[in-house]
Amino acid sequence: MDDFVVALGGKTGNFQGQFDYVLTHSYGHILQLKEPQEMVGDDKKTRYSSWRSLKYFPWDEKDFSWAKKIVPGRMKTLKEIRDAAKDCDGIIIATDDDPSGEGDLLGWEIVNAIHWKKVVYRIRFEDQSPKSIIAAMRQMTDVTNQMEQGEYLEALARQRFDLLSMQLSRIAMIYAKKAGYRPKTMRIGRLKSAIVGLIFDRNTEIENYVKKPYFEVKFKDQNGNIFSRKFDPDKDKFRFAEIKGAKDDLANFASSSIVIDEKKLKKQTPPPLVDLGQIGILVGAKGYKDKEIIKTYQDMYQAQIVSYPRTEDTQVTLEQFNELLPLVDQIANVIGVDSKLLIRRKPRLKFITKQAAHGANRPGLKVPKSLEQLEKRFGKIGVEIYQVVAKSYLAMLAEDYVYEAQKAHLAKYPDFKSSIQLPKEMNYKLIFDDRDLSDEEEIEAHEFKDPAAPFVYEGANPKPGKPTKKFILNFLKKHNIGTGATRLQTLAEISSGKGSLASLYRGGYILNYEGQVQAILSKGSMIASPKITKRLFDGMDRVKRKELDYQLIPQSMQTIVRHDMPIFETNSTILDQNATLQKLASKHQTKTVSKKVASKDKVTGKFNGEEISFNQTWGGHKFTQQEVADLLEGKTITINYRSKRGAQKSVSGKLAKQSYKGRSFYGFKPEF
């Protein structure tokens, strides 16, 4: 409220001769939906309070009154607002204009709670500067009919959908307990489940990865550029499973000169302005947690150091561009960017839009005097945030990155080709290098240099990368699921605090016990599908545009529950088969089903003239009679086994005398 006091000249007064006003404030949610069993008649309370019986699902949203209750400790605030409005003719909702409509919902919850019957207005401001606030006051709109306000209906649809999704957590908990597992909580929801599923799928791919090496002849020139042939697995024979084949093929080649086929100068424009998720990636790489980043950015926004954090805009308006233009040299000086690079000071079409609620993330109109001053107020994390936001914005004022694209082939062997990109003018990349946001590694290239010599190259099927913050947020951004702020906020929620589902480990996310149970149960479900999640977000956008009845969003939960219940049930039967979950269950002592430990049968026979015995099982594989005979004859056999993480793999090995803690024994010795 302090910003409004400054902008309008006091807590009470007259706005430009049009009307008298009185300012009052709220914070966060003053009201919240009642519990499901509190919103239905007495005859249905059992159904909506049950956590034990599956017969009560799916819920019928028409049974709910959708009544709300005051959040504990907030009655005083509500009374202050009611008293302030008592002698007024109208209420102006001046909450944040966030993309989800949350600000509109917060305002209308209060208006409805005090039983207001007069006119209601809404103002939307870009930031909390006096200029923006006064401009918003001049353009306030009458929204007295709340059921005609798209932003409010969008938020209402989301709120009701999220409450109804509670039943999926109950259903999952029931199936988990039936299977003998007792997670403390389940947090199944539209975006949370999609992220948990991404983490689970990527870690499963890593666990099941089996390296399959291959060998082929390639060429390398004097500057390390690689020349290779395009490989078609259906017809080409030059790629070998064993190194011997490639070595034999190597004898068919000799050094060759290089023929340049093409040289073209190309340009790359600066990247789009960063969203809060991308800020989270870059600042998080410095060791800061998501919740720290979100809170500090919000504090900096309120101080007008940076723009509105929860924007979904990717461009700025011409007015916003012109407003910040006189400050760019000052901003550049603070963060150590050479102002001589900022030569594109006229608006570029890529970054400009005719209309934006807040505009893309950018520096605010209050420029800090120095990074030291910024650090004193917001800490080192504030410095990191400001540098990312400022560099991203200033990069659009620099010239395009210029590089030369070259293509070449070998004179003696035209099928061997190579292409490189040689930097010529770094320009915007001297300010903001967007490669740090990409999952792809960029190889430094040099000019082609004769001659190119053949060598045996060893490759392999690529190993899946860890589910890093960059991977998760880039996936969601690529598929247009949520806003940058929503993505980062949700990732922070599932990976911190009590009831967390995941945690960071060596740069990648791993699921904890509750997260692993939830991921397995919801595998293949609608609620965990990124496609369905995107469809829900799209549907809510349509509600905001008044193209879709808001009630259809919560109604869709019945379809989701009917689809997902049998999937949860089927998946509950394979919980015991997940090795990672078994380790977590053992560690947390939360599995109640006892597990039989299979004794290892011994086999005997003559090996190298000596009567010996050894275990008939190894890695979960029980040797057949033929395999036992081959082992006793000293032969190498290949078997399929289960790794410690539960992945199915194959390995070759033979019988050998081994030792463990000073004790000698005979057993299968794998050749890893």
Report the CATH number that the domain containing residue 470 is assigned in CATH: 1.10.460.10
pLDDT at 642: 72
pLDDT at 517 over 50: yes
Rounded mean pLDDT of the chain?
A: 91
Residues 141 and 13 in one domain: yes
For residues 263-291, give the mean pLDDT: 94
Domain count for the chain, please give it: 5
pLDDT at 443: 74
Residues 181 and 158 in one domain: no
Last residue of a domain, one of 553, 588, 623: 588
Q: What percent of the chain is modeled with pLDDT above 70? A: 97
Instruction: Give the residue with greater pLDDT, 590 vs 63.
Output: 63
The neighbour count for residue 236, using CB atoms within 10 Å, is 12
For residues 71-91, give the mean pLDDT: 93
Q: Is residue 377 part of a domain?
A: yes
For residues 320-337, give the mean pLDDT: 96
Residue 356 sits in a domain whose CATH number is 1.10.290.10
pLDDT at 357: 79
Q: Where are the beta strands (DSSP E) in 231-323?
A: 258-268, 316-317
Of 299, 301, 364, 293, nearest to 334 by C-alpha is 364
- Dihedral angle, C-alpha 243, 249, 250, 251, nearest 10 °: 130
DSSP for 198-248 reads HHHHHHHHHHH----EEEEEEEE-TT--EEBPPP-TTT----BSSHHHHHH
Q: Is residue 191 part of a domain?
A: yes
646 pLDDT tier (thresholds 50, 70, 90): low
Residues 231 and 307 in one domain: no
Residue 424 sits in a domain whose CATH number is 2.70.20
pLDDT in tens, 154-195: 999 999 999 999 999 999 999 999 999 999 888 999 899 999
DSSP for 525-547 reads -STT-HHHHHHHHHHHHHHHTTS
pLDDT at 113: 93
pLDDT at 644: 61
Q: Is residue 593 part of a domain?
A: no
Residues 35 and 137 in one domain: yes
Residues 63 and 152 in one domain: yes
Last residue of a domain, one of 377, 395, 413: 395
Residue 33 sits in a domain whose CATH number is 3.40.50.140
For residues 535-550, give the mean pLDDT: 94
Last residue of a domain, one of 520, 554, 588: 588
494: Cβ–Cβ under 8 A, 6 or more apart, which residues?
Answer: 187, 192, 195, 196, 500, 501, 502, 515
pLDDT at 660: 74
Residues 245 and 197 in one domain: no
400: Cβ–Cβ under 8 A, 6 or more apart, which residues?
Answer: 267, 268, 269, 270, 427, 428
pLDDT at 532 over 50: yes
The neighbour count for residue 52, using CB atoms within 10 Å, is 11
Q: Is residue 234 part of a domain?
A: yes
Judge contact between 575 and 176, C-beta under 8 A.
yes
Range of the domain at 245: 213-269+401-460
pLDDT in tens, 413-440: 999 999 999 999 999 999 998 888 887 7
pLDDT at 506: 87
DSSP state of 591: B
pLDDT at 647: 67
* Alpha carbons 415 and 406: distance in angstroms, whole number: 16
pLDDT at 589: 57
For residues 237-259, give the mean pLDDT: 96
Residues 576 and 498 in one domain: yes
pLDDT at 597 over 70: no
For residues 397-410, give the mean pLDDT: 97
34: Cβ–Cβ under 8 A, 6 or more apart, which residues?
Answer: 67, 68, 69
pLDDT at 119: 96
Which residues are registered as beta bridge partners of 14? 20
Q: Is residue 239 part of a domain?
A: yes
Residues 557 and 471 in one domain: yes
Q: Is residue 130 part of a domain?
A: yes
pLDDT at 394 over 70: yes
- Dihedral angle, C-alpha 145, 150, 156, 157, nearest 10 °: 130
Helix (H) or strand (E) holding 402: strand 401-410
Residues 582 and 651 in one domain: no
Instruction: Give the residue with greater pLDDT, 644 vs 334.
Output: 334
Pair type for strands 417-425 and 401-410: antiparallel
pTM for the model? 0.81
Residues 300 and 202 in one domain: no
Pair type for strands 258-268 and 352-353: unpaired
Of 129, 105, 118, nearest to 29 by C-alpha is 105
Q: Is residue 77 part of a domain?
A: yes
Residues 454 and 542 in one domain: no
Q: Is residue 597 part of a domain?
A: no
pLDDT at 528: 94
pLDDT at 661: 64
Residues 627 and 511 in one domain: no
